[in-house]
Amino acid sequence: AQTVTQSQPEMSVQEAETVTLSCTYDTSESDYYLFWYKQPPSRQMILVIRQEAYKQQNATENRFSVNFQKAAKSFSLKISDSQLGDAAMYFCAYDGGATNKLIFGTGTLLAVQP
Amino acid sequence: EPEVTQTPSHQVTQMGQEVILRCVPISNHLYFYWYRQILGQKVEFLVSFYNNEISEKSEIFDDQFSVERPDGSNFTLKIRSTKLEDSAMYFCASSVGPGLAGNYEQYFGPGTRLTVT
């Protein structure tokens, strides 16, 4: 069965600095999607970025980028120029396609210090 | 921008009562999902739904749960006899296609907070 692990329950970053959130996963599939979702205190789930496993190029969305290491089954999120509005819970998620469901990690609570 | 909507935002019910959580997926989406998040825990998949039938369900989705698309716009989750441990945030999501079929993305609604007393 596929699993997603986020080993950092909490992280803190200074405003305008860069922070990296870690995620590892386990799967026997060769093709899949990986996602980072942001959940602010409102508890809305907001898609931050996604990565297709067959693409070697790391995905980037403005200040958010990923470091996807397929062989290592690692999918980290880098937030550059952190802003106060980035403070939230961040969930890594996996979708193997064949199962048509998202499998989430336990989340990393990010605090941004002014 | 189109969005998934959910009603109510907060539902309080007594143990043993039936509740129906409602969702309106994005109009051109064909795949629908329910997820659950107990406070302080991770988001867990409950069920996926396509072409008026369940595609997949988790072990959480037992006989007390059911889903329905009663008309062309609504997607509902019914919990027949609520238990204290059903207290959670319930998220509806929808997508254009499944899995690896092209531009896949699940869009989440804002959630319904269910409190069972």
Question: For B18-76, what is each residue's pLDDT tens digit?
Answer: 999 999 999 989 999 999 999 888 899 999 999 899 999 999 999 999 999 988 789 99
pLDDT, position B66: 97
In the predicted structure, residue A99 carries a pLDDT above the cut 80: no
Contact check, Cβ <8 Å, B99/A96: yes
pLDDT at B117 (0 to 100): 97
Nearest-neighbour CA in chain B from A73: distance (Å) = 18
Q: Does B37 touch chain A if contact means CB atoms closer than 8 Å? A: yes
pLDDT score at A62: 96
CA dihedral A109, B1, B4, B10 (to 10 degrees): 60
Mean pLDDT of A50-73: 94
> Rounded mean pLDDT of A32-57?
90
Tell the burial category of B72 from Cβ atoms under 10 Å away from its Cβ (0-12, 13-18, 19+): exposed
pLDDT of residue B102: 57
Is B35 in Cβ contact with A102 (below 8 Å)? Answer: yes
pLDDT of residue A1: 78
Looking at chain A, the whole-number percentage of residues with pLDDT higher than 90 is 78
- Partner residue facing B55 (CB), from A37, A43, A100: A100
Name the residue facing A95 among B58, B99, B110 (closest C-beta).
B99
Q: Is the pLDDT of residue A34 over 80?
A: yes
Q: Are strands A10-14 and A108-113 parallel, antiparallel or unpaired?
A: parallel
On chain A, the residues whose CB falls within 8 A of the CB of B113 are 43
Q: A109 CB near a chain B CB, below 8 Å?
A: no
* Helix then strand then coil, % of chain A, to nearest 5: 5, 50, 45
Predicted confidence at residue B17, as pLDDT, reads 98
| Cβ distance of B105 and A50 shorter than 8 Å | yes
Mean pLDDT over the full length of chain A: 93
pLDDT at B73: 87
Say yes or no: A40 contacts chain B, CB-CB below 8 A. Answer: no
**C-alpha distances in Å from residue A19, one per residue of A50, A57, A72, B48:** 18, 20, 20, 34
Per-residue pLDDT band for A59 (boundaries 50, 70, 90) equals: very high
What torsion do the CA atoms of B102, A62, A108, B26 make, to the nearest 10 degrees? Answer: -40
Distance of CA A113 to the CA centre of its chain: 20
pLDDT band per the 50, 70, 90 thresholds, residue A73: very high
Residues from chain A contacting residue B3 (CB–CB below 8 Å)? none
Nearest neighbour of B111 by CB, restricted to A44, A95, A107? A44
